[in-house]
Copies of this chain bind each other. A is one copy, B any other.
Amino acid sequence: MSRKMTIADVAEKAEVSKSTVSQFLNERFEYMGEETRTRVQNAISELEYQPNVVARSLKKKSTSTIGVIVANILHAYSTQVIRAIENVCNDNGFSTIICNADDNPEKEKKYIETLLAKQVDGLIVVPISGNLGTYDKLLKQNYPIVFLDRLVDGLNTDTVLLDNERASELAVSHLLKNGYKDIAIVTTSLVDNVTPRVERINGYKSTLKANGITVRPEFIRGMELNSFNQGLDALFSLDKKPDAIISGNDLTLMEILKYTFENDIEIGKDIGLITIDEVSFGPIHSPPLTTIAQPTFEMGKEVATILLKKIKDKKIKDPVIHRHEPSIIIRNSTKKEGVSSE
């Protein structure tokens, strides 16, 4: 009852060799007589034998486990993508180990090392800048790895991410169409050149230009979450205040909502608001929030599928960048009173 059963116990009980039990476990029934097969089967169920995956992994040099390192689990995006990844992995007999690097490159590095020591068969990562060397080495060894959400300068590997410029384009166009003219964009820190932030700002600029509107640098703000209040204060103290804001993600949205709430700024009327990333309370907020949604489920599904394919077929292929289309969910936070919506 207490000691764990091994293949040797099964072999003894079934009066066959360990090899035969192993063949059975690996469903190589062609190597086995009908009668042997049932004997092994019975021995296994009588002993309640459970194979030891660790031993198998050591021998097979493959763990059927992948690692997922996410830059910041607090984004709803992360959680959703992870669920999709897990679904795909489960369907393929793979386990996932999820790690949250907390936007900290050292933590990320430690996780990479731990995961590799655990012999995971591949890695999905939302990379934080700072571990270029580590990734480069892995990639050169043709170790299976797929990036998510962010590109890394100087690293050439399969990546799944949003068409971020298109996201901003959707946001800006919608705001313009609804009568807003002075559109600001607010996002988290820009110092590390994090792909979505940079691209969203680029898309913002280019769409404004395409509409003949001058880009005002003071309307573009990248700042840490904990200094958002001051940043928004500055924005709203401008001589020329913005009449609409694009929020870079769900976490910045919370800061903006807190600010407007505390300062009695009425969303929709005093200020138009559109946020990238759909949020659970979007529909029931007052006013309901216009959002730009990412197809998180498909994105998760695709990264996992790509990674599993790489693991199964180690042939080197040219890396490709997979862009996903954002979509706009129009609600009332971008509806000026008296201006007809599209």
Listed in ascending order, the chain A residues whose CB lies under 8 Å from chain B are 1-2, 50-55, 57-58, 63, 65, 73, 79, 83, 86, 95-98, 100, 113-114, 116-119, 140-141, 254, 257-258, 261, 279-281, 283-286
Contact = CB atoms under 8 A, between A and B. Distances in A.
A258 B258 CA distance: 21
B285 A258 contact: no
B286 A258 contact: no
A9 to B, nearest CB: 16
Contact of A54 (B96, B97, B119, B279): B119
B100 A86 contact: yes
Contact of A285 (B58, B98, B100, B285): B285
Contacts of A280: 254
A140 to B, nearest CB: 8
Contacts of A114: 95
Contacts of A95: 97, 114, 118
B57 A2 contact: no
A312 to B, nearest CB: 19
B117 A51 contact: yes
A278 to B, nearest CB: 13
B63 A54 contact: yes
B284 A117 contact: no
A55 B58 contact: yes
**Chain B CB within 10 A, most for which of A2, A55, A118:** A118
Given A58-B55, A284-B257, A113 B79 contact: no
A116 B51 CA distance: 9
Nearest to A258: B284
Contacts of A261: 283-284, 286
Contact of A50 (B53, B117, B281): B117
Contacts of A285: 281, 284-286
Contacts of A97: 95-97
Given A2-B141, A141-B1, A261-B283, A118 B254 contact: no
A46 to B, nearest CB: 15
Given A58-B58, A281-B285, A285-B285, A53 B257 contact: no
A103 to B, nearest CB: 14
Given A52-B58, A279-B281, 20 more contacts: A1-B140, A51-B117, A52-B119, A53-B118, A54-B54, A54-B57, A65-B118, A73-B83, A79-B79, A95-B114, A95-B118, A96-B97, A254-B280, A257-B284, A258-B283, A258-B284, A261-B286, A281-B285, A284-B285, A285-B285
Contacts of A113: 50
Contact of A117 (B52, B58, B79, B258): B52
Nearest to A119: B54
Given A55-B58, A95-B97, A116 B50 contact: yes
A113 B285 CA distance: 42
A285 B287 CA distance: 10
A100 B83 contact: yes
Contacts of A50: 113, 116-117
B284 A53 contact: no
A308 to B, nearest CB: 17
